Amino acid sequence: MIPIARPVLGEEEINAVRQVLQSGQIAQGPKVKEFEEKFAQYIGTKYAVAVSNGTAALQLALIALGVRPGDEVITSPLSFFASASSILLIGAKPVFVDVEERTYNMDPTKIRDAITPKTKAIMVVHLHGHPADMDPILEIAREENLPVLEDAAQAHGAKYKGKMAGSLGDAAAFSFYATKNMTTGEGGMVTTNSEEIAEMVSLLRHHGQTSRYVHKYLGYNMRMTEFQAAIGLVQLKKLDSNNMRRREIAKRYSGELSDLKELILPIEEPWAKHSWHLYAIRTEKDRRDSIISKLRELGVDARPTYPIPLHKQPIMERLNDGNRNFLARIFPSISYANVSLPIAEKLTNELFYIPIYHNLTEKEVSKVIDSVRKVFS
Ligand SMILES: Cc1ncc(COP(=O)(O)O)c(C=O)c1O
């Protein structure tokens, strides 16, 4: 079976970890600092702060941007759960704005209607690695005096109008989870040009400690280890060439499947550079799951997209369960029962992913293409 993702860690990563083991410094130290400097340089921001995972990066960035319990944060309903849970975990409320049908990212024309006096930030998700249309979003944010956080967990190396994803808003969060375009096993990074945000995130990841055992803020333990940073430094060096290979594979898929009228293939807007984290194909709702089963029978793993939009997740229906949920105190009438986001709801039933990663061989790419064609013949 050709798997849906295949993280590859080679001799260089093994040697980097060995060096950390031999150094005796295994908790956050000089490797983390070096990884932060190199990552900031790559993204083109003044600062990068490493944390334990992408969800922590989102959560700490939101707090550093001033989001507090009772506030609202605008975000996309078509994303991994962390885009909502990072907001909920600090006692704020996600307000979902429907996505548009070309890139599957939040529709900028629908953001204004979602803004209320309680809105404190806009969290933009660059889904699948295709950047969101940032200019209109940044314009609304400027007019409304709202900070913008990019969820760039899937967008390492993606660009918007020539600028790196992760350098476009007030702050951005990256994930280095095992299947991402670059990995540290688990890991995350906040990028920003603001010294104040960088400083707050680095305090919050380390118990809010300003000097040894002195805690000025209520923080967390969300630090990155030296092992993770050592792997990250190696992975970062390979990111551009690995992304280039993903691009070649996407080009073959898009070229050799384009005549299949039952499929809507992913696009790359003229202003965008996709990181091709996921190759998302759209088809009819009634056929999607049987297509996936048939592909698996043919030895190609395929996966449906997030099966439930974020506003329909089971936890979202129980947020005002007073006895069990602290959010019920902050939002006594919180409910998503009447929220309707038709495009995101439709897409959760129509999108699926086929394998895309740098170490897919040409033979494997051909097998994926042949299998998809066979399913439709
Ligand atoms: C869009 C998006 N946001 C946030 C996250 C959370 O990152 P992590 O799994 O590192 O916590 C992920 C990835 O898993 C993601 O895909």
Do strands 163-164 and 171-175 pair parallel, antiparallel, or not at all (unpaired)?
Answer: unpaired
Q: Which protein residue has the closest C-alpha to ligand 1 atom 10?
A: 54
Residue range 236-294, pLDDT digits in tens: 999 999 999 999 999 999 999 999 999 999 999 999 999 999 999 999 999 999 999 99
What band does 325 get if pLDDT is binned at 50, 70 and 90? confident
Least Cα distance to 268 among 133, 361, 163 occurs for 133
Do strands 351-354 and 279-282 pair parallel, antiparallel, or not at all (unpaired)?
Answer: antiparallel
Tokens of 36: 């932060």
Residue range 8-19, pLDDT digits in tens: 899 999 999 999
Q: Which protein residue has the closest C-alpha to ligand 1 atom 7?
A: 54
What band does 319 get if pLDDT is binned at 50, 70 and 90? confident
Pocket of ligand 1 (CB under 6 A): 53-55, 79-80, 82-83, 125, 151, 153-154, 175, 177, 188
Q: Which protein residue has the closest C-alpha to ligand 1 atom 8?
A: 54
Average pLDDT over residues 341-358: 98
Residue that the structure tokens 């551009």 belong to: 240
Name the architecture of domain 238-306+345-376: Alpha-Beta Complex (3.90)
Residue range 148-194, pLDDT digits in tens: 999 999 999 999 999 999 999 999 999 999 999 999 999 999 999 99
Contact 252, 365 (CB under 8 A): yes
State if pTM tops 0.95: yes
Q: Inform me whether the pLDDT recorded for 323 exceeds 80.
A: no
Pocket test for ligand 1, best of 4, 53, 80 (most atoms within 8 A of CB): 80
Least Cα distance to 94 among 302, 303, 241, 313 occurs for 313
Residue range 192-215, pLDDT digits in tens: 999 999 999 999 999 999 999 999
Residue that the structure tokens 């050592």 belong to: 230
Is residue 313 classed exposed, middle or buried when 0-12, 13-18 and 19+ CB atoms within 10 A define those classes?
middle
AA identity, residue 370: D
Residue range 112-152, pLDDT digits in tens: 999 999 999 999 999 999 999 999 999 999 999 999 999 99
Q: Which protein residue has the closest C-alpha to ligand 1 atom 4?
A: 82
- 56 CA closest ligand 1 atom index: 11
Q: Where are the domains of the chain?
A: 11-234, 238-306+345-376
Residue range 85-115, pLDDT digits in tens: 999 999 999 999 999 999 999 999 999 999 9
What separation in Å is there between the alpha carbon of 81 and the centre of ligand 1?
Answer: 8
| Cα distance between residue 360 and residue 367, in whole Å | 10
Measured CA angle at 324 (ends 318, 326), to 5 deg: 90
Q: Which CATH code fits 11-234?
A: 3.40.640.10
